[in-house]
């Protein structure tokens, strides 16, 4: 060490850096290298001087698009985020996984111990749990609500169909509601004398009601679809599911509200919401429904008023959850467009949701707003749109709430999903049309339906007869690349990555939330890291560092650093 101490000769320097047995001490703070590591200055540099100084072009204050009062730096940050997202991720499945991963990212503390820090999210369900919550749901979904259904439904003539279908439907409803016997185990056929807790019994009854609603509504809708199938081939090709989970995640701007919970980690001025509910019946097609109003019309520019109250005021609370976009099925099934979704509204009469006759309709409206928005949002993600890429055409959902007896119909047009932008940045809003609450029948007496209401059936038939555009002349998925020519291994990687979201547990913490038991990490993070490590060649080549996962972050990439000469050739100083 002493021998080379003050040597500046380049040969010795090279020896010290590369071959000497002390080379491992090179970066040690105790090793003093005078003047740093110095490279030889190449002699024959071209003359780069110009008359006037050259600068990179000045960036505009805001990136393209409408950003309102968002500060410049933040707007550019969001813009870059979106660019990165779309530049590196080719497939929707990849994007969905990354969206989940970003919310589950961990950090390492001073002792390099991994800390779980999955983000808190406001958890929403369709059923509102507080009165007068419609303004809140309007605000977080950017929705303008109208009291009546669009006019064009009334132009559809369904009378002959109605006369044909009505007796069939009545017969089938009565079969389920009246004629069918229930299978009761022998042990439950007599009273055992135990104390029946009223709340438990009420919950059981509610579950049975929901199940019955699902059965009856599925049967009704399948019957109508089958009656029409011979004449409307698209109806035979629809995908019908019952008890279908619907989930959606979005981040919403706080608009100056002081709220320190559930922040989205990219931007402390936003919170994130996760919607979770189960639809009784869902009918999906592979073609979109026609838009109801032009997204540039004045109706779509109606401003949505701000709601200044925080979510807990409406009994919305946080939880940790793997954020997911599920419009009823996993990605890859061809039927990506909503035709009809029915939710069971039996639970609206629970004590914490029923606030009197006056509040019933607004509560149902907020349910429709919330559920339709969530489903369309997830649908938009499946079609390649996202918070950074607005849908290029409006998406339509037809939503029904029903408890077999009472029905309410809603239509939703989704125009915008970039809720992370501040309030003044929104140029369009989403529109929801809601019908009044109607009775299909008043009750069942002596095996007959009392006061069967044709109007409700008419509405239902019109919803099902609303035909999707068979030959859309626009690109349905403009931001989705064709991956058929992609490398086989890359496609396997995408598939495996998505299976992490599909098949794994939400969160490994099986204990109750208040018990502080720390496992090393969540299952999701482990499996994600496993996949990125298995396919590390792809990840190293295509992804930025922050999506590497916990294992790959620690593996140094073995690449040959360019020598000085190669470096000069690769990046010449001249431009």
Partner 1 sequence: MPKITELRGLFKPFTKPLHRQWKWVWQEKGKFNEPKLTIPKAFEGRQLNIIDPLHEPDPNALPDESTPWTSPTRHPMFEYLVPPLPREQHPLFHHDRPVFLFDSKTKLHAGNIHPTKNQKLTFIGFVCLFKGVDQACLLTKTIPFYELPQSIKQNLDQVTIPNQDDLIQSYIRQSIAYDATKEKLPRKYTPLKQRRSFRVEYSIPRPRQMSILLENTLSLCESLGGRYPDLFKRNLYRNTPFYTTFERYGELVHLRKKNEYILTSPTPLSPIVKRLYKLEISSGDSVNENLGVHDPNGHYVMQGNDYKFLNMYPVYPTIDLQSEQLYQDGDEQGWRMKKSNEYVHTTFYVSNDELIHEATTDERLARMVMFAFGTALVQARQLYPNGHLTKPVTVQSVFLLDELFHFVVFQLNTLNYNETNDQRYNYVWIDKDNYLYDNRPSMVMHNPLYGTERNLQRYVLEKLKYNPEVFQKFLALYLQGIK
245 binds partner 1 (CB under 8 A): yes
Q: Within positions 99 to 138, which residues make up the interface with partner 1, using CB under 8 A?
A: 130-131
495 binds partner 1 (CB under 8 A): yes
Angle, vertex CA 316, rays to CA 315 and CA 322, nearest 5: 155
Size of the site for partner 1 (CB under 8 A): 70
Q: Output the smallest distance, CB 443 to partner 1, in A.
A: 17
Whether 235 contacts 225, CB under 8 Å: yes
Q: Output the smallest distance, CB 316 to partner 1, in A.
A: 10
Whether 468 contacts 289, CB under 8 Å: yes
230 binds partner 1 (CB under 8 A): yes
Place of tokens 């105790």: 30
Nearer to partner 1, 31 or 208 (CB): 208
Nearer to partner 1, 121 or 149 (CB): 121
Whether 429 contacts 144, CB under 8 Å: yes
Per-residue binding letters, 393-432, with partner 1 (x by CB under 8 A): ----------------------------------------
178 binds partner 1 (CB under 8 A): yes
Tokens of 15: 């020896």
Nearer to partner 1, 253 or 399 (CB): 399
Whether 131 contacts 535, CB under 8 Å: no
Short-list 237, 144, 190, 182, CA closest to 429: 144
Nearer to partner 1, 118 or 428 (CB): 118
355 binds partner 1 (CB under 8 A): yes
Cα–Cα dist 470/334, whole Å: 15
What distances in angstroms separate CA 273 from CA 10, 26, 310, 374, 395, one per listed residue? 60, 50, 12, 10, 20
What distances in angstroms separate CA 496 from CA 94, 328, 504, 531, one per listed residue? 10, 21, 12, 7
Cα–Cα dist 507/496, whole Å: 19
- Contacting partner 1 (CB under 8 A), which of 181, 258, 559, 565? 181
Whether 377 contacts 142, CB under 8 Å: no
DSSP state of 177: I
Q: Output the smallest distance, CB 325 to partner 1, in A.
A: 10
Nearer to partner 1, 25 or 202 (CB): 202
Whether 443 contacts 468, CB under 8 Å: no
- Contacting partner 1 (CB under 8 A), which of 23, 61, 237, 265? 237
Cα–Cα dist 112/89, whole Å: 30
Q: Output the smallest distance, CB 237 to partner 1, in A.
A: 7
Cα–Cα dist 288/376, whole Å: 11
Tokens of 127: 């059923």
Cα–Cα dist 155/152, whole Å: 5
Per-residue binding letters, 193-222, with partner 1 (x by CB under 8 A): xxx-x--x--------------x--xx--x
Contact region with partner 1 (CB under 8 A), list: 225-233, 408-416, 539-547, 549-557: 225-233
Q: Output the smallest distance, CB 439 to partner 1, in A.
A: 21
Contact region with partner 1 (CB under 8 A), list: 341-349, 431-439, 453-461, 498-506: 498-506
186 binds partner 1 (CB under 8 A): yes
Contact region with partner 1 (CB under 8 A), list: 6-14, 234-242, 339-347, 563-571: 234-242
- Per DSSP bridges, beta strands 395-402 and 337-344 are parallel
Q: Would you give the end-to-end CA distance of the chain in angstroms?
A: 43
Q: Within positions 304 to 323, which residues make up the interface with partner 1, using CB under 8 A?
A: 312, 315, 317
Contact region with partner 1 (CB under 8 A), list: 19-27, 68-76, 174-182, 532-540: 174-182
Tokens of 122: 């406001």
Q: Which residues bind to partner 1, rule: CB under 8 A?
A: 130-131, 168, 171-172, 174-175, 178-184, 186, 189-190, 192-195, 197, 200, 215, 218-219, 222-223, 225-231, 233, 236-237, 239-245, 247, 312, 315, 317, 326, 328-330, 332-334, 355-356, 447, 495, 499, 502-506, 511-512, 514-515
């Amino acid at each position: 060490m002493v021998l080379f101490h003050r040597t500046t000769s380049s040969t010795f320097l090279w020896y010290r850096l590369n071959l000497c047995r002390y080379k491992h001490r090179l970066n040690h703070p105790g090793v003093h290298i005078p003047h740093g590591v110095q490279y030889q200055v190449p002699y024959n540099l071209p003359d780069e001087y110009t008359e006037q100084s050259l600068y990179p072009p000045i960036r505009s204050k805001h990136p393209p698009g409408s950003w309102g009062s968002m500060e410049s730096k933040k707007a550019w940050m969001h813009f870059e985020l979106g660019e990165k997202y779309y530049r590196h991720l080719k497939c929707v499945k990849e994007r969905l996984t990354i969206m989940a991963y970003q919310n589950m990212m961990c950090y390492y503390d001073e002792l390099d111990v991994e800390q779980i820090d999955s983000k808190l999210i406001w958890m929403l369900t369709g059923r509102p749990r507080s009165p007068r919550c419609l303004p809140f749901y309007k605000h977080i979904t950017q929705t303008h609500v109208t009291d009546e259904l669009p006019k064009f439904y009334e132009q559809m003539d369904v009378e002959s169909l109605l006369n044909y279908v009505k007796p069939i439907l009545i017969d089938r409803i009565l079969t389920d509601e009246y004629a069918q016997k229930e299978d009761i185990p022998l042990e439950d056929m007599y009273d055992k004398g135990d104390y029946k807790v009223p709340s438990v019994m009420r919950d059981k009854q509610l579950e049975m009601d929901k199940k019955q609603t699902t059965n009856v509504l599925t049967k009704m809708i399948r019957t109508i679809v089958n009656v029409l199938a011979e004449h409307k081939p698209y109806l035979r090709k629809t995908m019908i599911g019952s008890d279908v989970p619907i989930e959606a995640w979005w981040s919403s701007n706080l608009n100056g509200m002081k709220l320190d919970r559930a922040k989205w980690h990219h931007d402390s001025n936003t919170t994130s919401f996760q919607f979770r509910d189960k639809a009784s019946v869902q009918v999906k097609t592979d073609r979109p429904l026609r838009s109801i109003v032009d997204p540039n019309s004045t109706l779509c520019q109606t401003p949505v008023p701000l709601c200044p109250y925080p979510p807990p005021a409406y009994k919305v609370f946080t939880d940790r959850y793997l954020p997911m976009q599920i419009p009823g099925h996993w990605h890859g099934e061809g039927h990506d467009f909503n035709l009809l979704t029915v939710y069971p509204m039996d639970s609206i009469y629970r004590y914490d949701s029923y606030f009197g006759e006056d509040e019933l309709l607004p509560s149902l409206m907020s349910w429709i707003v919330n559920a339709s928005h969530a489903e369309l949002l997830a649908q938009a993600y499946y079609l390649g749109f996202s918070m950074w890429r607005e849908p290029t055409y409006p998406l339509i959902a037809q939503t029904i709430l029903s408890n077999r007896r009472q029905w309410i119909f809603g239509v939703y047009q989704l125009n915008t999903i970039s809720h992370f932008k501040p309030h003044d940045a929104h140029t369009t809003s989403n529109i929801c049309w809601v019908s009044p609450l109607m009775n299909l029948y008043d009750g069942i007496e002596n095996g007959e339906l009392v006061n069967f209401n044709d109007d409700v059936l008419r509405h239902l038939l019109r919803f099902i007869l609303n035909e999707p555009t068979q030959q859309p002349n626009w690109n349905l998925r403009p931001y989705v690349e064709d991956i058929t020519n992609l490398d086989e291994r890359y496609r396997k990687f995408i598939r495996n990555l998505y299976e992490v979201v599909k098949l794994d547990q939400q969160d490994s913490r099986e204990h109750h939330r208040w018990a502080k038991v720390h496992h090393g990490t969540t299952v999701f993070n482990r499996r994600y890291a496993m996949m990125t490590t298995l396919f590390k060649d792809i990840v190293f080549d295509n992804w930025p560092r922050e999506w590497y996962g916990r294992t790959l972050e620690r593996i140094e990439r073995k690449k040959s650093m360019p020598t000085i000469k190669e470096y000069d050739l690769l990046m010449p100083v001249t431009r």
